[in-house]
Structure 1
Protein backbone atom coordinates (compact mmCIF):
# COMPACT_ATOMS: atom_id res chain seq x y z
CA UNK A 1 0.00 0.00 0.00
CA UNK A 2 1.32 3.43 -0.93
CA UNK A 3 0.69 5.27 2.34
CA UNK A 4 1.73 8.68 1.00
CA UNK A 5 -0.72 8.36 -1.90
CA UNK A 6 -3.45 7.40 0.56
CA UNK A 7 -2.71 10.46 2.69
CA UNK A 8 -2.84 12.94 -0.20
CA UNK A 9 -6.06 11.48 -1.62
CA UNK A 10 -8.05 10.55 1.49
CA UNK A 11 -7.70 13.78 3.46
CA UNK A 12 -8.63 16.27 0.69
CA UNK A 13 -11.70 14.19 -0.14
CA UNK A 14 -12.81 14.12 3.50
CA UNK A 15 -12.35 17.88 3.94
CA UNK A 16 -14.29 18.67 0.77
CA UNK A 17 -17.22 16.46 1.81
CA UNK A 18 -17.34 17.96 5.33
CA UNK A 19 -17.32 21.49 3.93
CA UNK A 20 -20.23 20.69 1.63
CA UNK A 21 -22.14 19.08 4.52
CA UNK A 22 -21.68 22.18 6.69
CA UNK A 23 -22.95 24.39 3.88
CA UNK A 24 -26.01 22.19 3.49
CA UNK A 25 -26.97 21.72 7.15
CA UNK A 26 -25.63 24.85 8.85
CA UNK A 27 -23.58 25.67 11.94
CA UNK A 28 -24.70 23.33 14.72
CA UNK A 29 -25.10 20.22 12.56
CA UNK A 30 -21.97 21.21 10.67
CA UNK A 31 -20.05 21.39 13.94
CA UNK A 32 -21.35 17.95 14.95
CA UNK A 33 -20.31 16.53 11.59
CA UNK A 34 -16.93 18.27 11.82
CA UNK A 35 -16.32 16.78 15.27
CA UNK A 36 -16.42 13.22 13.95
CA UNK A 37 -12.96 11.61 13.70
CA UNK A 38 -12.40 12.59 10.06
CA UNK A 39 -8.86 13.82 10.76
CA UNK A 40 -7.96 12.08 14.04
CA UNK A 41 -9.15 8.70 12.74
CA UNK A 42 -6.92 8.73 9.64
CA UNK A 43 -3.98 10.05 11.69
CA UNK A 44 -4.37 7.16 14.16
CA UNK A 45 -4.68 4.79 11.20
CA UNK A 46 -1.45 6.11 9.71
CA UNK A 47 0.29 5.84 13.09
CA UNK A 48 -0.64 2.15 13.16
CA UNK A 49 0.41 1.57 9.54
CA UNK A 50 3.78 3.27 9.95
CA UNK A 51 4.63 2.83 13.66
CA UNK A 52 2.63 -0.22 14.71
CA UNK A 53 -0.41 -0.90 16.90
CA UNK A 54 1.34 -0.35 20.27
CA UNK A 55 2.36 3.15 19.16
CA UNK A 56 -1.20 3.95 18.09
CA UNK A 57 -2.71 2.62 21.33
CA UNK A 58 -0.26 4.53 23.51
CA UNK A 59 -0.88 7.75 21.54
CA UNK A 60 -4.54 7.72 22.69
CA UNK A 61 -3.52 8.88 26.18
CA UNK A 62 -1.96 11.95 24.58
CA UNK A 63 -5.09 12.44 22.49
CA UNK A 64 -7.16 12.92 25.67
CA UNK A 65 -4.86 15.82 26.61
CA UNK A 66 -5.23 17.18 23.09
CA UNK A 67 -9.02 17.07 23.36
CA UNK A 68 -8.96 19.01 26.65
CA UNK A 69 -6.85 21.62 24.86
CA UNK A 70 -9.29 21.57 21.93
CA UNK A 71 -12.19 22.37 24.27
CA UNK A 72 -10.17 25.30 25.59
CA UNK A 73 -9.56 26.46 22.00
CA UNK A 74 -13.26 26.31 21.05
CA UNK A 75 -14.49 28.15 24.14
CA UNK A 76 -11.73 30.77 23.88
CA UNK A 77 -12.26 31.39 20.17
CA UNK A 78 -16.02 31.69 20.67
CA UNK A 79 -15.61 34.17 23.54
CA UNK A 80 -13.01 36.36 21.85
CA UNK A 81 -14.75 36.30 18.46
CA UNK A 82 -17.43 38.56 19.92
CA UNK A 83 -14.86 41.36 20.29
CA UNK A 84 -12.01 40.78 17.84
CA UNK A 85 -11.36 39.89 14.22
CA UNK A 86 -10.18 36.42 13.29
CA UNK A 87 -6.39 36.85 13.64
CA UNK A 88 -6.16 38.12 17.26
CA UNK A 89 -8.97 35.73 18.18
CA UNK A 90 -7.04 32.83 16.69
CA UNK A 91 -3.80 33.76 18.45
CA UNK A 92 -5.55 34.02 21.82
CA UNK A 93 -7.31 30.69 21.26
CA UNK A 94 -4.02 29.02 20.31
CA UNK A 95 -2.46 30.41 23.49
CA UNK A 96 -5.30 28.86 25.52
CA UNK A 97 -4.83 25.57 23.66
CA UNK A 98 -1.08 25.49 24.29
CA UNK A 99 -1.38 26.37 27.99
CA UNK A 100 -4.03 23.69 28.54
CA UNK A 101 -1.95 21.04 26.76
CA UNK A 102 1.17 21.87 28.77
CA UNK A 103 -0.66 21.88 32.12
CA UNK A 104 -2.39 18.53 31.63
CA UNK A 105 0.70 16.93 30.12
CA UNK A 106 2.57 17.95 33.28
CA UNK A 107 -0.11 16.36 35.49
CA UNK A 108 0.45 12.91 33.92
CA UNK A 109 -3.15 11.70 34.32
CA UNK A 110 -4.03 8.14 33.36
CA UNK A 111 -6.38 7.29 30.49
CA UNK A 112 -9.50 6.73 32.62
CA UNK A 113 -9.12 9.98 34.55
CA UNK A 114 -8.36 11.89 31.35
CA UNK A 115 -11.46 10.50 29.62
CA UNK A 116 -13.69 11.37 32.58
CA UNK A 117 -12.17 14.86 32.74
CA UNK A 118 -12.88 15.43 29.05
CA UNK A 119 -16.54 14.43 29.45
CA UNK A 120 -16.96 16.69 32.49
CA UNK A 121 -15.20 19.54 30.66
CA UNK A 122 -17.53 19.21 27.67
CA UNK A 123 -20.62 19.29 29.90
CA UNK A 124 -19.35 22.29 31.88
CA UNK A 125 -18.36 24.21 28.77
CA UNK A 126 -21.81 23.65 27.25
CA UNK A 127 -23.41 24.88 30.48
CA UNK A 128 -21.46 28.15 30.38
CA UNK A 129 -20.79 28.47 26.64
CA UNK A 130 -20.36 32.02 25.25
CA UNK A 131 -23.60 33.49 23.94
CA UNK A 132 -23.68 35.23 20.52
CA UNK A 133 -24.17 38.98 20.74
CA UNK A 134 -24.82 39.86 17.12
CA UNK A 135 -27.03 38.99 14.15
CA UNK A 136 -26.22 36.15 11.79
CA UNK A 137 -24.52 37.60 8.74
CA UNK A 138 -25.63 36.27 5.38
CA UNK A 139 -23.38 33.60 3.91
CA UNK A 140 -20.48 34.72 1.72
CA UNK A 141 -17.91 32.48 0.12
CA UNK A 142 -14.34 33.09 -0.85
CA UNK A 143 -13.11 31.75 -4.17
CA UNK A 144 -11.16 28.51 -3.83
CA UNK A 145 -12.10 28.10 -0.15
CA UNK A 146 -12.58 24.33 -0.45
CA UNK A 147 -9.15 23.75 -2.09
CA UNK A 148 -7.54 25.92 0.61
CA UNK A 149 -9.13 23.81 3.35
CA UNK A 150 -8.11 20.61 1.58
CA UNK A 151 -4.47 21.65 1.24
CA UNK A 152 -4.12 22.90 4.85
CA UNK A 153 -5.62 19.76 6.40
CA UNK A 154 -3.56 17.44 4.19
CA UNK A 155 -0.31 19.24 5.03
CA UNK A 156 -1.12 18.94 8.74
CA UNK A 157 -1.71 15.19 8.49
CA UNK A 158 1.52 14.75 6.53
CA UNK A 159 3.44 16.76 9.14
CA UNK A 160 2.07 14.98 12.24
CA UNK A 161 2.41 11.47 10.82
CA UNK A 162 5.81 12.26 9.31
CA UNK A 163 7.18 13.49 12.64
CA UNK A 164 5.58 10.73 14.73
CA UNK A 165 8.82 8.81 15.08
CA UNK A 166 10.55 11.92 16.46
CA UNK A 167 7.70 13.17 18.65
CA UNK A 168 6.91 9.79 20.18
CA UNK A 169 3.42 8.40 20.84
CA UNK A 170 2.39 10.81 23.60
CA UNK A 171 3.09 14.09 21.82
CA UNK A 172 1.90 12.61 18.53
CA UNK A 173 -1.35 11.82 20.35
CA UNK A 174 -1.56 15.31 21.84
CA UNK A 175 -1.27 16.80 18.35
CA UNK A 176 -3.80 14.39 16.82
CA UNK A 177 -6.85 16.49 17.88
CA UNK A 178 -4.96 19.74 17.16
CA UNK A 179 -7.62 22.18 15.92
CA UNK A 180 -6.61 22.20 12.29
CA UNK A 181 -10.13 21.36 11.09
CA UNK A 182 -11.55 23.55 13.84
CA UNK A 183 -9.29 26.45 12.86
CA UNK A 184 -10.45 26.21 9.27
CA UNK A 185 -14.11 26.12 10.34
CA UNK A 186 -13.62 28.99 12.80
CA UNK A 187 -11.75 31.34 10.46
CA UNK A 188 -14.05 30.86 7.50
CA UNK A 189 -17.27 31.15 9.52
CA UNK A 190 -15.89 34.14 11.46
CA UNK A 191 -14.71 35.93 8.34
CA UNK A 192 -17.66 35.17 6.11
CA UNK A 193 -20.61 34.99 8.53
CA UNK A 194 -19.55 36.71 11.74
CA UNK A 195 -19.27 35.77 15.40
CA UNK A 196 -22.76 34.32 15.76
CA UNK A 197 -22.16 31.66 13.10
CA UNK A 198 -18.73 30.92 14.56
CA UNK A 199 -20.08 30.36 18.07
CA UNK A 200 -22.86 28.13 16.73
CA UNK A 201 -20.40 26.02 14.73
CA UNK A 202 -17.84 25.66 17.53
CA UNK A 203 -20.53 24.87 20.09
CA UNK A 204 -21.76 22.10 17.78
CA UNK A 205 -18.21 20.82 17.56
CA UNK A 206 -17.88 20.77 21.37
CA UNK A 207 -21.13 18.80 21.62
CA UNK A 208 -19.65 16.34 19.16
CA UNK A 209 -16.57 15.84 21.34
CA UNK A 210 -18.60 13.52 23.57
CA UNK A 211 -18.70 11.00 20.74
CA UNK A 212 -15.27 11.86 19.33
CA UNK A 213 -13.57 11.30 22.70
CA UNK A 214 -15.39 8.01 23.15
CA UNK A 215 -14.27 6.90 19.68
CA UNK A 216 -10.61 7.38 20.63
CA UNK A 217 -11.06 5.98 24.15
CA UNK A 218 -12.54 2.77 22.76
CA UNK A 219 -9.57 2.32 20.42
CA UNK A 220 -7.31 1.80 23.44
CA UNK A 221 -9.21 -1.45 24.10
CA UNK A 222 -10.67 -2.56 20.77
CA UNK A 223 -7.35 -2.40 18.92
CA UNK A 224 -5.86 -4.96 21.31
CA UNK A 225 -8.28 -7.68 20.19
CA UNK A 226 -9.74 -6.64 16.84
CA UNK A 227 -8.55 -5.52 13.43
CA UNK A 228 -8.21 -1.83 12.68
CA UNK A 229 -11.25 -1.95 10.40
CA UNK A 230 -13.44 -3.62 13.05
CA UNK A 231 -12.20 -1.35 15.85
CA UNK A 232 -12.78 1.80 13.85
CA UNK A 233 -16.13 0.62 12.54
CA UNK A 234 -17.55 -0.29 15.96
CA UNK A 235 -16.30 2.91 17.58
CA UNK A 236 -17.56 5.02 14.67
CA UNK A 237 -21.07 3.65 15.15
CA UNK A 238 -20.90 4.47 18.88
CA UNK A 239 -19.61 7.95 17.98
CA UNK A 240 -22.49 8.56 15.59
CA UNK A 241 -25.10 7.35 18.10
CA UNK A 242 -23.71 9.61 20.83
CA UNK A 243 -23.72 12.57 18.45
CA UNK A 244 -27.33 11.84 17.48
CA UNK A 245 -28.40 11.70 21.14
CA UNK A 246 -26.38 14.83 22.02
CA UNK A 247 -27.90 16.81 19.15
CA UNK A 248 -31.38 16.09 20.54
CA UNK A 249 -30.40 17.10 24.09
CA UNK A 250 -28.52 20.29 23.20
Structure 2
Protein backbone atom coordinates (compact mmCIF):
# COMPACT_ATOMS: atom_id res chain seq x y z
CA UNK A 1 0.00 0.00 0.00
CA UNK A 2 1.18 3.53 -0.76
CA UNK A 3 2.58 5.05 2.46
CA UNK A 4 0.82 8.37 1.96
CA UNK A 5 -2.48 6.56 1.59
CA UNK A 6 -1.70 4.56 4.75
CA UNK A 7 -1.04 7.76 6.69
CA UNK A 8 -4.23 9.33 5.38
CA UNK A 9 -6.33 6.35 6.48
CA UNK A 10 -4.60 4.92 9.57
CA UNK A 11 -4.13 8.09 11.63
CA UNK A 12 -7.66 9.51 11.28
CA UNK A 13 -9.12 6.07 12.02
CA UNK A 14 -7.08 5.88 15.24
CA UNK A 15 -8.17 9.36 16.34
CA UNK A 16 -11.83 8.59 15.67
CA UNK A 17 -11.70 5.32 17.63
CA UNK A 18 -9.92 6.91 20.62
CA UNK A 19 -12.47 9.73 20.65
CA UNK A 20 -15.33 7.24 20.66
CA UNK A 21 -13.61 5.27 23.46
CA UNK A 22 -13.45 8.39 25.63
CA UNK A 23 -17.11 9.09 25.01
CA UNK A 24 -18.06 5.54 25.95
CA UNK A 25 -15.78 4.88 28.94
CA UNK A 26 -14.90 8.35 30.23
CA UNK A 27 -11.71 10.37 30.55
CA UNK A 28 -9.61 8.03 32.67
CA UNK A 29 -10.09 4.88 30.57
CA UNK A 30 -10.08 6.94 27.41
CA UNK A 31 -6.82 8.56 28.46
CA UNK A 32 -5.25 5.16 29.09
CA UNK A 33 -6.42 4.00 25.67
CA UNK A 34 -5.18 7.22 24.07
CA UNK A 35 -1.73 6.78 25.60
CA UNK A 36 -1.20 3.52 23.76
CA UNK A 37 1.30 3.87 20.90
CA UNK A 38 -1.37 4.49 18.28
CA UNK A 39 0.05 7.69 16.82
CA UNK A 40 3.66 7.61 18.05
CA UNK A 41 3.96 3.93 17.18
CA UNK A 42 2.60 4.68 13.72
CA UNK A 43 5.16 7.48 13.33
CA UNK A 44 7.96 5.10 14.35
CA UNK A 45 6.65 2.59 11.83
CA UNK A 46 6.69 5.23 9.09
CA UNK A 47 10.27 6.17 10.05
CA UNK A 48 11.28 2.54 9.59
CA UNK A 49 9.44 2.12 6.31
CA UNK A 50 10.70 5.39 4.83
CA UNK A 51 14.13 5.89 6.44
CA UNK A 52 15.13 2.34 7.43
CA UNK A 53 15.14 0.29 10.62
CA UNK A 54 18.44 1.79 11.84
CA UNK A 55 16.93 5.28 11.67
CA UNK A 56 13.90 4.14 13.67
CA UNK A 57 16.05 2.52 16.36
CA UNK A 58 18.25 5.62 16.65
CA UNK A 59 15.17 7.81 17.03
CA UNK A 60 14.07 6.01 20.21
CA UNK A 61 16.62 7.83 22.39
CA UNK A 62 15.14 11.10 21.23
CA UNK A 63 11.67 9.73 21.93
CA UNK A 64 12.57 9.41 25.62
CA UNK A 65 13.34 13.13 25.66
CA UNK A 66 10.05 13.74 23.88
CA UNK A 67 8.14 11.78 26.52
CA UNK A 68 9.69 13.87 29.30
CA UNK A 69 8.45 16.95 27.45
CA UNK A 70 5.03 15.35 26.90
CA UNK A 71 4.64 14.75 30.65
CA UNK A 72 5.44 18.41 31.27
CA UNK A 73 2.84 19.37 28.67
CA UNK A 74 0.13 17.28 30.37
CA UNK A 75 0.90 18.56 33.86
CA UNK A 76 1.14 22.22 32.83
CA UNK A 77 -2.06 22.06 30.74
CA UNK A 78 -3.93 20.50 33.66
CA UNK A 79 -2.69 23.19 36.07
CA UNK A 80 -3.39 26.20 33.86
CA UNK A 81 -6.68 24.87 32.46
CA UNK A 82 -8.40 26.00 35.65
CA UNK A 83 -7.31 29.60 35.09
CA UNK A 84 -7.44 30.11 31.34
CA UNK A 85 -9.36 29.13 28.25
CA UNK A 86 -7.91 26.51 25.92
CA UNK A 87 -5.73 28.77 23.73
CA UNK A 88 -3.52 30.44 26.39
CA UNK A 89 -3.39 27.16 28.28
CA UNK A 90 -2.21 25.35 25.16
CA UNK A 91 0.43 27.99 24.38
CA UNK A 92 1.84 27.87 27.92
CA UNK A 93 1.94 24.08 27.81
CA UNK A 94 3.73 24.14 24.43
CA UNK A 95 6.35 26.58 25.74
CA UNK A 96 7.07 24.38 28.77
CA UNK A 97 7.08 21.32 26.52
CA UNK A 98 9.73 22.94 24.30
CA UNK A 99 11.90 24.03 27.24
CA UNK A 100 11.84 20.50 28.68
CA UNK A 101 12.76 18.98 25.31
CA UNK A 102 15.67 21.40 24.81
CA UNK A 103 17.07 20.84 28.31
CA UNK A 104 16.99 17.05 28.17
CA UNK A 105 18.29 17.01 24.60
CA UNK A 106 21.25 19.06 25.82
CA UNK A 107 21.94 16.56 28.63
CA UNK A 108 22.25 13.66 26.13
CA UNK A 109 21.46 10.92 28.64
CA UNK A 110 21.83 7.27 27.66
CA UNK A 111 18.77 5.18 26.89
CA UNK A 112 18.65 3.23 30.15
CA UNK A 113 18.98 6.34 32.34
CA UNK A 114 16.41 8.16 30.23
CA UNK A 115 13.98 5.27 30.62
CA UNK A 116 14.36 5.25 34.42
CA UNK A 117 13.98 9.04 34.60
CA UNK A 118 10.81 8.97 32.50
CA UNK A 119 9.21 6.31 34.70
CA UNK A 120 10.17 8.29 37.82
CA UNK A 121 8.81 11.50 36.31
CA UNK A 122 5.50 9.79 35.51
CA UNK A 123 5.09 8.63 39.11
CA UNK A 124 6.04 12.05 40.50
CA UNK A 125 3.68 13.80 38.10
CA UNK A 126 0.76 11.59 39.11
CA UNK A 127 1.25 12.66 42.71
CA UNK A 128 1.51 16.33 41.71
CA UNK A 129 -1.38 16.23 39.26
CA UNK A 130 -4.31 18.49 40.18
CA UNK A 131 -7.49 16.75 41.22
CA UNK A 132 -10.76 17.63 39.50
CA UNK A 133 -12.95 19.85 41.67
CA UNK A 134 -16.11 18.24 40.35
CA UNK A 135 -17.15 15.45 37.98
CA UNK A 136 -16.64 16.43 34.33
CA UNK A 137 -19.66 18.23 32.94
CA UNK A 138 -21.82 16.65 30.30
CA UNK A 139 -20.33 18.21 27.23
CA UNK A 140 -21.95 19.58 24.14
CA UNK A 141 -20.55 18.35 20.86
CA UNK A 142 -19.43 20.58 18.06
CA UNK A 143 -20.63 19.74 14.55
CA UNK A 144 -18.05 17.63 12.77
CA UNK A 145 -15.77 17.52 15.83
CA UNK A 146 -14.45 14.03 15.04
CA UNK A 147 -13.44 14.96 11.46
CA UNK A 148 -11.70 18.07 12.85
CA UNK A 149 -9.71 15.95 15.30
CA UNK A 150 -8.87 13.48 12.57
CA UNK A 151 -7.66 16.20 10.23
CA UNK A 152 -5.46 17.96 12.79
CA UNK A 153 -3.76 14.76 13.94
CA UNK A 154 -3.18 13.55 10.38
CA UNK A 155 -1.62 16.88 9.40
CA UNK A 156 0.83 16.68 12.32
CA UNK A 157 1.89 13.15 11.35
CA UNK A 158 2.42 14.15 7.73
CA UNK A 159 4.62 17.06 8.79
CA UNK A 160 6.75 15.09 11.26
CA UNK A 161 7.33 12.11 8.99
CA UNK A 162 7.85 14.37 5.99
CA UNK A 163 10.62 16.28 7.75
CA UNK A 164 12.34 13.20 9.20
CA UNK A 165 15.16 13.18 6.64
CA UNK A 166 15.90 16.83 7.47
CA UNK A 167 15.59 16.58 11.25
CA UNK A 168 17.61 13.37 11.61
CA UNK A 169 16.84 10.51 14.00
CA UNK A 170 17.34 12.41 17.26
CA UNK A 171 14.93 15.29 16.70
CA UNK A 172 12.59 13.06 14.74
CA UNK A 173 12.48 10.88 17.86
CA UNK A 174 11.92 13.88 20.11
CA UNK A 175 8.93 14.89 18.01
CA UNK A 176 7.52 11.33 17.84
CA UNK A 177 5.60 11.66 21.15
CA UNK A 178 4.73 15.30 20.34
CA UNK A 179 1.31 15.98 21.90
CA UNK A 180 -0.64 15.53 18.70
CA UNK A 181 -3.53 13.40 19.89
CA UNK A 182 -2.98 14.74 23.42
CA UNK A 183 -3.52 18.34 22.31
CA UNK A 184 -6.64 17.41 20.39
CA UNK A 185 -8.10 15.50 23.34
CA UNK A 186 -7.18 18.26 25.82
CA UNK A 187 -8.61 21.09 23.75
CA UNK A 188 -11.91 19.38 23.02
CA UNK A 189 -12.34 18.12 26.59
CA UNK A 190 -11.52 21.58 27.96
CA UNK A 191 -13.77 23.42 25.52
CA UNK A 192 -16.77 21.12 25.55
CA UNK A 193 -16.75 19.79 29.14
CA UNK A 194 -14.60 22.18 31.15
CA UNK A 195 -11.23 22.02 32.89
CA UNK A 196 -12.18 19.05 35.07
CA UNK A 197 -12.69 16.88 32.00
CA UNK A 198 -9.31 17.96 30.61
CA UNK A 199 -7.63 17.13 33.93
CA UNK A 200 -9.17 13.65 34.08
CA UNK A 201 -8.25 12.87 30.47
CA UNK A 202 -4.67 14.15 30.77
CA UNK A 203 -4.13 12.26 34.02
CA UNK A 204 -5.23 9.09 32.26
CA UNK A 205 -2.76 9.81 29.48
CA UNK A 206 0.10 10.30 31.95
CA UNK A 207 -0.81 7.04 33.67
CA UNK A 208 -0.56 5.30 30.32
CA UNK A 209 2.93 6.66 29.67
CA UNK A 210 4.43 3.97 31.90
CA UNK A 211 3.37 1.38 29.34
CA UNK A 212 4.03 3.58 26.32
CA UNK A 213 7.59 4.36 27.44
CA UNK A 214 8.20 0.66 27.97
CA UNK A 215 6.88 -0.02 24.46
CA UNK A 216 9.45 2.32 22.93
CA UNK A 217 12.28 1.13 25.18
CA UNK A 218 11.63 -2.47 24.13
CA UNK A 219 11.77 -1.47 20.45
CA UNK A 220 15.38 -0.37 20.89
CA UNK A 221 16.26 -3.91 22.03
CA UNK A 222 13.85 -6.01 19.98
CA UNK A 223 13.89 -4.36 16.55
CA UNK A 224 17.49 -5.46 15.88
CA UNK A 225 16.50 -9.07 16.68
CA UNK A 226 12.95 -9.44 15.37
CA UNK A 227 10.77 -8.32 12.52
CA UNK A 228 8.88 -5.05 12.94
CA UNK A 229 5.56 -6.89 13.26
CA UNK A 230 6.86 -9.25 15.97
CA UNK A 231 8.63 -6.50 17.91
CA UNK A 232 5.63 -4.18 17.82
CA UNK A 233 3.17 -6.97 18.58
CA UNK A 234 4.97 -8.25 21.68
CA UNK A 235 5.54 -4.73 23.02
CA UNK A 236 1.89 -3.71 22.48
CA UNK A 237 0.76 -6.67 24.59
CA UNK A 238 3.14 -5.62 27.38
CA UNK A 239 2.01 -1.99 27.01
CA UNK A 240 -1.64 -3.01 27.38
CA UNK A 241 -0.86 -5.21 30.42
CA UNK A 242 0.95 -2.33 32.15
CA UNK A 243 -1.99 -0.01 31.43
CA UNK A 244 -4.42 -2.46 33.01
CA UNK A 245 -2.27 -2.75 36.13
CA UNK A 246 -1.73 1.00 36.39
CA UNK A 247 -5.45 1.64 35.92
CA UNK A 248 -6.21 -0.57 38.92
CA UNK A 249 -3.48 0.98 41.13
CA UNK A 250 -4.35 4.62 40.44
The match for 1:21 is 21
1:202 correspondence with 2:202 = yes
In the alignment, structure 1 segments of 5+ residues that lack a partner are none
Q: CA RMSD in A?
A: 0.8
In the alignment, structure 2 segments of 5+ residues that lack a partner are none
1:232 correspondence with 2:228 = no
Matches of residues 52-63 of structure 1 in structure 2 within 5 Å? 52-63=52-63
How far residue 133 of structure 1 moved from its aligned partner, in angstroms, is 3.1
How far residue 135 of structure 1 moved from its aligned partner, in angstroms, is 5.1
The match for 1:109 is 109
The match for 2:223 is 223
Q: Distance in 2 between matches of 1:44 and 1:166?
A: 16
SS at match of 2:109: coil
Q: Distance in 1 between matches of 2:132 and 2:99?
A: 25
How far residue 134 of structure 1 moved from its aligned partner, in angstroms, is 4.6
SS at match of 2:154: helix
**TM score, norm. by length of structure 1:** 0.99
SS at match of 2:224: helix
Matches of residues 169-188 of structure 1 in structure 2 within 5 Å? 169-188=169-188
**TM score, norm. by length of structure 2:** 0.99
Q: CA, structure 1 residues 51+133, in 2 after alignment: closer, same or farther (shift >3 Å)?
A: same
SS at match of 1:26: helix
How far residue 132 of structure 1 moved from its aligned partner, in angstroms, is 2.2
1:248 correspondence with 2:248 = yes
Q: Distance in 2 between matches of 1:135 and 1:31?
A: 16
Question: CA-to-partner distance for each residue in 1:68-124, whole Å, 9 max, x for gaps?
Answer: 000000000000001111111001100110000000000010100100000000000
List, as ranges, runs of 4+ consecutive aligned residues in structure 1 with deviation greater than 4 Å. Answer: none
